[in-house]
Structure 1
Amino acid sequence: MILVTGGTGFLGSTLLQRLIDDGQSIIATKRESSNIPEQLKSSSLIQWVDADITDYYALEELVSQVNQVYHCAAVISYHKSDASKMFQTNIEGTKHIVNLCLHHEIRLVHVSSIAALGTNKQGHPVKENDKWEFSPNLSKYSLAKYESEMEVWRGIAEGLDAVIVNPSVIMGVGTDKNASKSIFELVKKGNKIYPLGSIGVVDVQDVAKIMMKLMNSEISGQRFILNAENISNRELLEKISSRMNKPAPTIKATPTLLSVAWRVSKALALLQGKKPVLTRETARAATKKLAYDNTKIINTLGVNFKSVDQIVDEVCQAYYA
């Protein structure tokens, strides 16, 4: 029996689909307010449980029934108002999972993030062993994911059988059809602006597939960057625009423009009683030139990643044809 936390999320639900296709029996956790993806509702192989991962005793009952845990549950937010909840859920929840897996001697695959990685001082793509250093410019999400991952490393030092994956920006066609489409929706609406930074992109199916391979391997006590390609924000938007027959963006979102934009977004959100679409943290991230090295996972498992072109084609074919 397998436990998957965060089963209704984009990655979690895609992983569940691959597991049931493999004939596995699963306990999947979700928040009470979360909706189960239609493709998974009828599966007799999944036992859905409403569970708060910060509730140790609720998790203990579940973990005691399984021999493998995929920890996908996490709060992802760049809004200041969500910081406290995000730290509590991501860090405390991971601590509980780690302690229970240690106690019951259960193997764990933990989903971290590239946000928890360090930086390369020579300007090369970031590798798994690049040193992490605190900076006041780090997003609260980055700090929460870093501290969550530290709980897993603490468990590994205490004898936990675990592997950590650090995916880049996850896109693609998954089980949850409402996920991974925000940037595509932006292009569909006629976006004319492109940020100056760059990102790493990886397909959701590739991430789920690699997690399953790592779980069923002898590998332990290691982390792996999961990244298909590094690409500038402009080039990514141009690829999506071309595939959707929309004009490519032509206006540079300079740091000055973004600085004004996030303040305007904040002011409008206050007037409307909503969360701002653009925050200081997301504006700052949009200007960063980020790149990640996938050599370790390729050499370890011999995996092939879908290209950005293929990911864009599949999303557009599935949702915008």
Structure 2
Amino acid sequence: MILVTGGTGLVGAHLLLHLVESETTVRAIYREPKSIEKTKSLFKLYQKEYLFSKIDWVQADIIDVPTLEIAFKNVDFVYHCAGLISYDPNDEDLLRKVNIEGTANIVNFCIDNKIKKLCHVSSIAALGNQQSHETEISEETEWNPETAHSDYAISKYGAEMEIWRGQQEGLDVVIVNPGVIFGAGFWNQGSGLFFSSIKNEFPFYTNGSTGYVGVTDVVKIMIRLMNSTIVSERFTLVAENLTFKKVIFLIAENLNAKKPKIEAKPWMTAIGWRLDLFISTIFRTKRKLSKYSANSLHSSDFISNEKIKNPEVLGLNFEFQSIDSVIKEVCAKHKYD
């Protein structure tokens, strides 16, 4: 039996789709009944709704220990995809509770239930900090606690520390660190907001860059790693490093939407996050742009994917799907959905 946490999120839902297609016995966690509908909609989007009933759904929460006892019964392998993504400074405590404490709970249950292997979905945000003499960021880049990090990055790094604690206690683990993940469905959250915002003719772009990857590549690699003898390793999953302008323009072209015409300069985003802070304070609304997020829109670190592409890792020369192709597929689904 395979257990998937975060089965109602982008990665978890696509992972479930791939697992049940291979006739694997799968259990997935959900917190609220309505959240399952998002995953069901994804199966329907791919015209595979008939496979949805093969999932054994269990109501549980990774920060609610008693509910996890039922979820872990008769489980052999665990994919830990659950986590909170937020760049709102007001969510600092919640990020630490869900991403660090929640992961610690999963690790503890894996150890207690003698789970054969755990795959943890982390993020490139948890990778180290590129130094002046370095040209890229990889799995080996050192994390500098003195450097400014977002609360999200700190929480994902803390989650990884819990995974390595489990490894030291005898648990077989593997970690993946995806870049920005593009995939169909979930248009109103996470990376899906790229597509929804551009469809609604968002007018700004920046020339900062980051690493991107298609969700299908992410889940394929996760499954291959879990089925391999590889343990105690982590792998950066990035297909390409592209500028936000390039990605936004590609999405606009494929959605037949207007391309944004205004380049948001650093001084503009600096005003933007301060204005957003003022509005959220006065009207008690959720932050849309933090100081860290504003700065990251102009950063251009290069994320390396050489480790996962090494033929000796997965037994083949893994080739990522191009982001151009990923965007075309996602936009086609967006129009259909």
For this structure pair, what is the TM-score category when the shorter chain's length is used for normalisation? over 0.9
The answer on whether the counterparts of 2:27 and 2:57 sit within 8 Å (CA) in structure 1 is yes
**Counterpart for residue 99 of structure 1:** 108
Equivalent-residue separation in structure 2 for 1:234 and 1:177 (angstroms) = 20
The answer on 1:119 being equivalent to 2:129 is yes
**Counterpart for residue 46 of structure 2:** none
Q: Which aligned segments of 4 or more residues in structure 1 are displaced greater than 4 angstroms?
A: 39-42, 176-179
C-alpha deviations, 1:214-253, integer Å up to 9, x for none?
A: 1110000000001100001111112222223344333222
Equivalent-residue separation in structure 1 for 2:174 and 2:221 (angstroms) = 11
Q: Which amino acid aligns with 1:308?
A: I
Note the 1:62-101 alignment, pairs <5 A.
Answer: 62-101=71-110
SS of corresponding position for 1:44: helix
Offset of 1:62 from its aligned partner? 2.2
Offset of 1:281 from its aligned partner? 2.6
1:251/1:267 Cα in 2 relative to 1: closer, same or farther (>3 Å)?
A: same
**Counterpart for residue 5 of structure 2:** 5
C-alpha deviations, 1:238-282, integer Å up to 9, x for none?
A: 222222334433322222111101122232334444213222232
Equivalent-residue separation in structure 2 for 1:314 and 1:125 (angstroms) = 29
1:59/1:87 Cα in 2 relative to 1: closer, same or farther (>3 Å)?
A: same
Offset of 1:33 from its aligned partner? 6.1
> Structure 2 length normalisation: TM-score?
0.89
Q: Which amino acid aligns with 1:105?
A: K
The answer on whether the counterparts of 1:125 and 1:293 sit within 8 Å (CA) in structure 2 is yes
**Counterpart for residue 277 of structure 1:** 288
Equivalent-residue separation in structure 1 for 2:203 and 2:81 (angstroms) = 34
Q: Bigger shift: 248-257 or 210-219?
A: 248-257
C-alpha deviations, 1:87-145, integer Å up to 9, x for none?
A: 01111111111122122221100111111100232342211111011135210000000
SS of corresponding position for 2:146: coil
Offset of 1:188 from its aligned partner? 1.9
The answer on whether the counterparts of 2:187 and 2:196 sit within 8 Å (CA) in structure 1 is no
Equivalent-residue separation in structure 2 for 1:60 and 1:191 (angstroms) = 45
Note the 1:1-321 alignment, pairs <5 A.
Answer: 1-32=1-32, 34-36=34-36, 37-39=39-41, 43-106=52-115, 107-121=117-131, 122-135=133-146, 137-173=148-184, 176=186, 180-299=191-310, 300-301=313-314, 302-320=317-335
The answer on whether the counterparts of 1:173 and 1:205 sit within 8 Å (CA) in structure 2 is no
SS of corresponding position for 2:213: strand
Q: Which amino acid aligns with 2:154?
A: L
Equivalent-residue separation in structure 2 for 1:33 and 1:136 (angstroms) = 40
Q: Which amino acid aligns with 1:118?
A: G
Q: Which amino acid aligns with 2:108?
A: N
The answer on whether the counterparts of 1:196 and 1:233 sit within 8 Å (CA) in structure 2 is yes
Equivalent-residue separation in structure 2 for 1:31 and 1:95 (angstroms) = 18
Q: Bigger shift: 232-241 or 305-314?
A: 232-241
C-alpha deviations, 1:43-98, integer Å up to 9, x for none?
A: 33211112121122322332232000000111111112211111011111111111
The answer on whether the counterparts of 1:5 and 1:72 sit within 8 Å (CA) in structure 2 is yes
Q: Bigger shift: 73-82 or 217-226?
A: 73-82
Q: Which amino acid aligns with 1:113?
A: S
1:245/1:64 Cα in 2 relative to 1: closer, same or farther (>3 Å)?
A: closer
Offset of 1:7 from its aligned partner? 0.8
Q: Which amino acid aligns with 1:4?
A: V
> Structure 1 length normalisation: TM-score?
0.93
SS of corresponding position for 2:53: coil
